[in-house]
Amino acid sequence: MNPPPSLSDLPPLVLASASPRRAELLRRLGLPFRACPANLDETTLAHLPPAQMARALAQEKAKAVWKAGEWVLAADTVVALEGAVLGKPANAQENRRFLEQLSGRSHVVYTGVSIVIPRGELHSTVAEAEVIFRRLTPWEIQWYVESGEGLDKAGGYGAQGLGMVLLEGLRGDFYTVMGLPVSRVWERLTELGYFGGAR
């Protein structure tokens, strides 16, 4: 049996994201990384179906920051209600509208993940989860909108923060909803040989 890897010996992952939630998840795993957000015009991919959009956004972000010899990890989350994408709300009014639409209904969260290995091969996958919202009262919607938490999040809510009180249930991986399906990322990094040099 091989000894467990020493994570401190691993090459740093380049995280092609400005998301503090994704960075926090990598820190929890103990993986070395540095954030290098990709600046993309995401509207050019808005015509795609939600799952394809999540995959394509992750792929483009990964390719935008990759340099030879580096491991790059990119992810992008798309929230879809009956096939219609709910992005990051532009303002409090749009955040309120999103929550009113989600109230008492289920929707799907897609998180696309792309990994570029040092020689430049791109590997991508899409994880999905179904989220069920409670039926929200007007004051709950107002309370959440006034918190400002949903303004930088796809769908206008954060399941890991105050938004946890909005949810009735979830089918699938919670971390897919949070923005990084960590078990799938770990598994894929293992398959691609990322941990090999740390044994």
Query: What percentage of the chain has pLDDT greater than the value 70?
Result: 96
Cβ contact 144:159 at 8 Å? no
Residue-wise pLDDT for 100-139, tens only, equals 999 999 999 999 999 999 999 999 999 999 999 999 999 9
Biggest CA-to-CA distance, the chain: 58
Query: In whole angstroms, how far apart are CA 171 and each of 103, 144, 174?
Result: 17, 23, 8
> Where does residue 196 rank: exposed (0-12), middle (13-18), buried (19+ CB within 10 A)?
exposed
Where exactly are the structural domains of the chain? 7-198
- Number of alpha carbons in the 13 Å side-chain half-sphere of residue 21: 20
State both tokens at 97: 């509208």
Buried b (16+ CB within 10 A) or exposed e, 24-54: ebbeeeebebebbebeeeeeebeeeebbebb
Residue-wise pLDDT for 164-196, tens only, equals 999 999 999 999 999 999 999 999 999 999 998
- Mean pLDDT, rounded, for 47-54: 96
Active site (catalytic) residues: 76
Q: Would you tell me which CATH number, out of the four given (3.30.1330.40, 1.20.1440.60, 3.90.950.10, 1.10.287.130), belongs to the domain 7-198?
A: 3.90.950.10
pLDDT band at residue 148 using 50, 70 and 90 as cut-offs: very high
Cβ contact 65:72 at 8 Å? yes
